[in-house]
Amino acid sequence: MSTTRRPPDRASQLAAVTAAPPSVTDIPPPTATTGLESRFDERALRWGRRLLVFLGYCLATVIMTWPWVTRLGSTIPPGGDPLLQVWISRWVQHALATDPLNLYNTNAFYPLQYTLAYSDSNIPAGIMAAPIYLLTGNAILANNLLVLGTFVLAGCGIYALVGLLAGNRAVAFVAGLAYAFLPYRFAHIWHLNQLGHAWTPWAIFALVLLIQRQRWRYAVAFGLLFAVQVLTSFYVGFQIAFAIAIALLVAVVAEPRARSLRFLGQLVAAGALALAIILPLAWPYVLVRDQQGLERTLWEAEQYQATPASYLRVQSGNRFWNWLTVKKGGEDTLFPGGLVTVGAIVGLIGFRRRPAVSVAALALLLFGVVLSLGPTWRPGPDGGVPLPYRFLFDHFPFFKAMRVPARFGALALLALVILAGCGAAWAWERLCRRFPGPPRLAVGAGLTAALAVLVMVELFTQVRLATPDTSAEIAATYRWLAAQPDRDPIIEFPAQTDDVNAATMMYWSTFHWKPIVGGYSGFVPRAHDELIQAFTGELKRPDGSVAKNVSYPRADNIGLLQTLGVRYIVLHEYGYKREDLATIIDQLEATGVVEKVDDFGEAIVYTLNPATEPPLPIEIDLYAPSLAVAGEFWEPAFVARNVSPRQELFFIERPLTLTTTWRDASGKVVRSDSLPLALPAVLPPGDLFCSARACPTAPGATLPETGPESPRLYPEKPGSYTIELAVIGGVKQRRTIPVEVVAAPPDAGADGLPLALVDVTLAGDQIAPGTALDLTMNWETRRALPEDYTLFAQLIGPDGQVWGQYDALAGWTGHYASAWRPGERVSLPWSVPLKADAPPGTYRLLVGMYRRTPTGVERLPFAYPDGDATEYWAGEVVVP
């Protein structure tokens, strides 16, 4: 007699728990009991089993990370990221206990705001680490226990999820081992936030329970777990959002309960709960993106994208599989392990047993692999082939905040583990029929133990460890700072932003919580990096030799610290050669604005006196061509002028933005644009000539090329307009300029003088010695110039001597004289400094143009209101 196998009904397709045959641990106890006793015994058995699973993963974690567990209080993985994670946890605890409304305004990167948003804030980890820190007082121990805890959390999560989907707890336990100790997790063992993807299987587990049972407690659990995952890492937050979307799409098709109004209402409520938690804590990231430019470039994404070879890559500490590829480790360590690979293949072969789970896992696998390959397939000179990540990068702003596409490979690894679990369960279902009764239990237990050992053997990776110096000698400096009653800012030298020393300074700042100028994070604003680099330069030694790239305070940059309001300067001996430290100390003390507090052996502490006078303001002159030809490139420009004899801080808290507002003849606004300005945060003395595209440090520097794809920043319709240029941010400056938009370039004159000086306007009729005369020259182009010319303006004293002069290329960066078109009017603000010892009397202003030749200079004839010449007396001023 033959029998026909009935296919599983649709209700069991998403998670075939009840339809699956019993696993090793599913065999019921042989004795019968009363109902109450049975429920009690079942509950005790269930919790006892969970406890054993938990302890099993704890033991596996100790073995797989040995001997780290013996030194948890003093060692960490090498690099700056582990110390950054320690500091983040401590800051979250400190801020929540003292000033929760300023959670994101940390003590690092002074004086910038929302600096916790420069990395994943990982608020859940900070909260979970708080009891450990309160009990031990050891922040490193608390962080390390959290790191190890993520292995247990990940294993238990997959155990719960695969057990639910495959109906086999023995298989689920092995799958949990495979997921917990993926090579990818060892590659990120210093990234506590990335290890936080251990929450992902728990959130999916809650979603599956919500679909199956539709109880409100599961909706609450799903919303909370989703929020915890996002707040642990926004990288992983994007990953889990895609995983949840794929799971829901498959569930809607395969599971009728997923289409019910009850489920829809519960899902909306879970989403509302998650958003209520996430949005207030995500808003600072939006502010950082807008104010500090928290965006990655396409080039950065291409540097950190995975390749097909990445899925064979392990850490160098993995002896079992390190022969697979030449390159070891890195962000793209995405090998899933041999047993997981085989299990996933088996899962695809047996996909009919659990079709909905298989389809969802396969979709997640493909999705994760494709996104991990980044924006471009084989990027090169020809640009390569765009991939789906490129579309997301171009159209979803938060994708520009992510630097490492390879991390999306974690989705593929999760999918492979789920497929492998389903494959192993399907294989056992077929195999167990051959072993009736008690032999089945023995065979199942033996297979489970063998697979568990094999997984641990093939995935074992030696963890590299480092021991940060937390000796009493190092701590003495920070304990002294903590004892000071003020909250004044600190800067430590050498000052860097991209090395372990910067992260070490952040760790030690947890002793005093005073603001520190330094900082280390996943994102460092350009302004802060330029500020730190302003302290790096050459050091001239007493013997005449020069040391390159030395970070130290000195006369030409000490004013920057006074402008910031820095109170304490800490010099670390470890950062300098012994023979250089004495020279640095001499130069610092020679500034006359510091006082030595104490020498703590490893570090010397100084206090910095406030500046006696405020810094001189930075001046900005705005320019724009008065003629725009339709279809051709046109852009405004500006000159930033530092009249101080030393470096000055231009902006720090918010980058500058240039807004352009076009009005037609009736005053109606017809176009407006906002452009970020690439101005340096620290200006050297003198003038800096810039265009809207770039900010070279010298006149005549090469600008980025323009082409048909370059933006057109003017109205398309020809006519007469005015453009209002406004700089906002660290400084404010406005200027309105008339601009004519024409359909075609005007005809160039065949003869005559190429330029005419229309008029010169002086800012005043008096000027004091040591100041500058501001003026504006309006030029008209009559014929194209073959080359650029230099414009000069001189102040000639009553004695006939030159007492003030300023020479620079006529025009501005990107629009010097050779770019002026016939018919165009060019308005040039100018500033002529007058010597401090200039005698009193009437001074005459002389202006003109010249070009340099191999034998000297050649003056350019030009027209002026009363005639023509090679120079023009433009006005007079009185020096009292």
The label of the residue with tokens 């406890």 reads 51
Mean of all residue pLDDT scores within the chain: 88
- Which of 55, 287, 284, 57 shows the shortest CA–CA distance to 150? 57
Per DSSP, what are the bridge partners of residue 546?
540
pLDDT at residue 709, rounded to an integer: 60
Dump pLDDT digits (tens) for 399-424.
887 889 999 999 999 999 999 999 99
Count the Cβ atoms, other than its own, within 10 Å of residue 645.
Answer: 10
Residue holding tokens 């192993």? 424
Give yes or no for residue 11 having a pLDDT over 50.
no
Q: Across residues 54-79, what is the average pLDDT? A: 96
In the structure, what pLDDT confidence band is assigned to residue 27 with cuts at 50, 70 and 90? very low
- Rounded Cα–Cα distance for residues 685 and 834 (Å): 16
Of all helices (H) and strands (E), which one includes residue 46? helix 35-64
**pLDDT tens, position by position, 250-273:** 999 998 999 999 999 999 999 999
Let me know: does 639 contact 690? Beta carbons within 8 Å: yes
pLDDT at 36: 56
Q: Residue holding tokens 């240029």? A: 725
Sequence-ordered list of residues with C-beta below 8 angstroms from that of 835, at least 6 positions apart, any chain: 769, 770, 803, 804
- Beta-strand relationship, 637-642 and 825-833: unpaired
- Exposed e or buried b per residue across 89-107, where buried means at least 16 C-beta atoms within 10 angstroms of its C-beta: bbbbbbbeeeeeeebbbbb
Residue type, 346: V
Inform me whether the pLDDT recorded for 703 exceeds 70.
Answer: no
CA 776 – CA 754 distance, rounded (Å): 20
Contact 746, 783 (CB under 8 A): no
The tokens for 796 are 């000639």
Phi, psi of 603 (to 5 degrees): -140, 150
**Long-range Cβ contacts of 433-437 (<8 Å, 24+ apart):** none
Average pLDDT over residues 57-79: 95
Please compute the mean of the pLDDT values over residues 560-568 and round it to a whole number. 95
**What pLDDT does 702 receive?**
62
User: Domain 616-745 carries which CATH code?
Assistant: 2.60.40.10
- Provide the CATH number for the domain formed by 751-880 in this structure: 2.70.50.60
Residue 261's Cβ-count burial label (10 Å; 0-12, 13-18, 19+) is exposed
DSSP label at 602?
S
Q: State which fold the 472-608 domain adopts.
A: Rossmann fold (3.40.50)
Tens-place pLDDT, residues 825-865:
888 888 899 999 999 999 999 999 999 888 888 999 999 88
Residue 536 CA, chain-centre distance (Å), reads: 23
> Looking at the predicted structure, is the pLDDT value of residue 686 above 90?
no
> Which of 645, 683, 563, 638 has the alpha carbon at shortest distance from 833?
645
Q: Taking the CA atoms of 860, 863, 867 and 871 in sequence, report the sign of the dihedral they define.
A: negative
Q: Are 262 and 218 in contact (CB under 8 A)?
A: no
pLDDT for position 2: 38
Q: Where are the domains of the chain?
A: 120-459, 472-608, 616-745, 751-880
Given this model, what pLDDT does residue 38 score? Answer: 65
* pLDDT at position 291: 82
Judge contact between 161 and 418, C-beta under 8 A: yes
**Amino acid present at 834:** L
Q: Is the pLDDT of residue 662 over 50?
A: yes
CA angle centred on 85, ends 393 and 510, rounded to 5°:
130
Residue type for position 738: P
Could you tell me how far CA 625 lies from the centroid of its own chain?
Answer: 36
CB 298 within 8 A of CB 375: yes
CA distance 234 to 282: 9
Residues near 831 by beta carbon (within 8 Å), at least 6 away in sequence = 619, 641, 772, 773, 774, 775, 806
Out of 132-146, 422-436, 484-498, 642-656, pick the least confident: 642-656
**pLDDT greater than 60 at residue 22:** no
Q: What is the pLDDT of residues 177-188, one digit of tens each?
A: 999 999 999 999
Lowest mean pLDDT among 9-23, 225-239, 503-517: 9-23
Paired with 779 in beta bridges are 757, 826
The structure tokens listed for 810 are 């006529």
Question: Mean pLDDT throughout 656-685?
Answer: 88
Which residue type sits at 69? Answer: V
As a dihedral over the C-alpha atoms of residue 254, residue 259, residue 262, residue 265, rounded to 10 degrees, the angle is: 110
CA distances from 403 to 54, 232, 235, 407, 675 (A): 35, 17, 10, 9, 23
What pTM was estimated for this model as a whole? 0.85
Report the range of poorest mean pLDDT among 100-109, 274-283, 525-534. Answer: 525-534
How far is 359 from 681, CA to CA, in rounded Å?
52
User: Phi/psi at 370 (nearest 5 deg)?
Assistant: -65, -45
Name every residue whose Cβ is closer than 8 Å to that of residue 4 and which is 6 or more positions away in sequence: none
Q: What is the DSSP secondary-structure string of 379-431?
A: -STT--EE-HHHHHHHH-GGGGG---GGGGHHHHHHHHHHHHHHHHHHHHHHH
Band of pLDDT at residue 716, cut at 50, 70 and 90? confident
The confidence score (pLDDT) of residue 708 equals 58
Considering only residues 769 and 498, tell me which one the structure prediction assigns the higher pLDDT. Answer: 769
Can you say whether residue 823 is alpha, beta or left, with left for phi > 0 and alpha for psi between -120 and 50 degrees?
A: left
Which of 5-9, 65-69, 215-219 is the least confident region? 5-9
- pLDDT confidence tier of residue 88, bands split at 50, 70 and 90: very high
Report the b/e string of 755-789 with b at 16+ CB within 10 A: bbbeebebeeeebeeebbbbbebebbbbebbeebb
Strands 733-742, 627-629: pairing is parallel
Q: Over the stretch 772-808, which tens digit does the pLDDT of each residue have?
A: 999 999 999 988 888 899 999 999 999 999 999 999 8
Q: Which residues pair with 671 in a beta bridge?
A: 662
pLDDT above 90 covers a percentage of the chain that reads 63
Sign of CA dihedral 75, 76, 80, 84: negative
pLDDT of 37 higher than 70 = no
Contact 396, 390 (CB under 8 A): no
| CA distance linking residue 132 with residue 431, whole number of Å | 46
Q: pLDDT tens-digit profile of 724-767?
A: 999 887 677 888 999 999 988 877 665 678 999 999 999 999 99
Q: Who wins on pLDDT, 240 or 289?
A: 240
If you compute the radius of gyration of the chain from its CA atoms, what whole number of angstroms results? 35
Q: Is 487 exposed, middle or buried (0-12, 13-18, 19+ CB in 10 A)?
A: exposed
User: What is the C-alpha separation between 106 and 97, in angstroms, rounded?
Assistant: 13
State the pLDDT at residue 418. Answer: 97
State the greatest distance between any 2 C-alpha atoms of the chain, in Å, as a whole number: 127
Task: Write down the pLDDT at residue 4.
Answer: 40
Whether the pLDDT of residue 25 is over 50: the answer is no
443-to-23, 181, 428 alpha-carbon distances in Å: 11, 25, 10
- pLDDT of 297 reads 80
pLDDT reading at 152 higher than 90: yes
Instruction: Average the pLDDT over 319-333 and give the result.
Output: 85
115 with 92: CB under 8 angstroms?
no
Res 20 pLDDT > 70: no
Is it the case that residue 249 has pLDDT exceeding 50?
yes
pLDDT of residue 624: 85
Q: Whole-angstrom Cα distance, residue 585 to residue 575?
A: 13
pLDDT at 581 over 90: yes
**186 to each of 26, 80, 157, 328, 722, how far by Cα in Å?**
33, 16, 18, 12, 60
The full DSSP string for 208-258 is HHHHHH--HHHHHHHHHHHHHHHHH-HHHHHHHHHHHHHHHHHHHHH-GGG
Nearest CA to 249 out of 261, 258, 240, 260 is that of: 258
Asked if residue 111 has a cis previous peptide bond (ω within 30° of 0), the answer is: yes
Query: Which residues on adjacent β-strands are paired with residue 110?
Result: none
Strands 862-864 and 867-869: antiparallel
Phi, psi of 8 (to 5 degrees): -65, 145
